[in-house]
Amino acid sequence: MMPTVAKKPRVRRTRGVLGGRSDRVVQRVLEATINELAVSGYRAFRMDAVSFDAVVNKTTIYRRWPTRASLVVAAMLWMRRFVHDIPLPDTGSVVDDLVQALLRKVSFKDRVEGQAWAKLLAEKHDPDVQVIISDSVRERSAEWDEMITRAIKRRELPKGTDPRLVFGMLGPIADAWNMRAGGRLKAEQLEVAVRTVIAGARTGTLVPSR
Percent of the chain with pLDDT over 90: 70
Q: Is residue 210 a part of any domain in this protein?
A: no
Same domain, 93 and 188: yes
- Looking at 47, 63, 81, the residue that finishes a domain is 81
Q: Tens digits of per-residue pLDDT, 132-153? A: 999 888 988 999 999 999 999 9
Q: Tens digits of per-residue pLDDT, 176-200? A: 998 888 888 899 999 999 999 999 9
Rounded Cα distance, 142 and 188, in Å: 26
pTM of the model as a whole:
0.82
Q: Which pLDDT score is estimated for 2?
A: 42
34 close to 79: Cβ distance less than 8 angstroms: yes
Rounded Cα distance, 186 and 178, in Å: 8
Rounded Cα distance, 53 and 29, in Å: 8
Residue 23, pLDDT above cutoff 50: yes
The tally of CA atoms less than 13 A away on the side-chain side of residue 176 is 7
Same domain, 121 and 151: yes
Q: Is residue 207 a part of any domain in this protein?
A: no
Residue 12, pLDDT above cutoff 70: no
Q: Tens digits of per-residue pLDDT, 96-135? A: 999 999 999 998 888 899 999 999 999 999 999 999 999 8
Q: Is residue 107 a part of any domain in this protein?
A: yes
Residues contacting residue 206 through CB under 8 Å, at least 6 positions apart: 161, 162, 165, 166, 169, 200
- Looking at 81, 102, 125, the residue that finishes a domain is 81
Same domain, 168 and 116: yes
Does residue 123 sit in helix, strand or coil?
coil
Residue 85, pLDDT above cutoff 70: no
Same domain, 98 and 194: yes
Q: Is residue 2 a part of any domain in this protein?
A: no
Range of the domain at 47: 21-81
Q: How far is CA 107 from CA 23, 103, 185, in A?
A: 29, 6, 9
Mean pLDDT, the chain, integer = 88
Q: Which pLDDT score is estimated for 159?
A: 96
Same domain, 115 and 68: no
Q: Is residue 160 a part of any domain in this protein?
A: yes
Nearest C-alpha neighbor of 106 from the set 30, 195, 181, 206: 181
Residue 8, pLDDT above cutoff 80: no
Q: Is residue 16 a part of any domain in this protein?
A: no
Q: Is residue 208 a part of any domain in this protein?
A: no
Same domain, 99 and 178: yes
Q: Is residue 7 a part of any domain in this protein?
A: no
Residues contacting residue 192 through CB under 8 Å, at least 6 positions apart: none
Q: One-letter amino acid identity for 30?
A: L
Q: Tens digits of per-residue pLDDT, 58-72? A: 999 999 999 999 999
Same domain, 113 and 156: yes
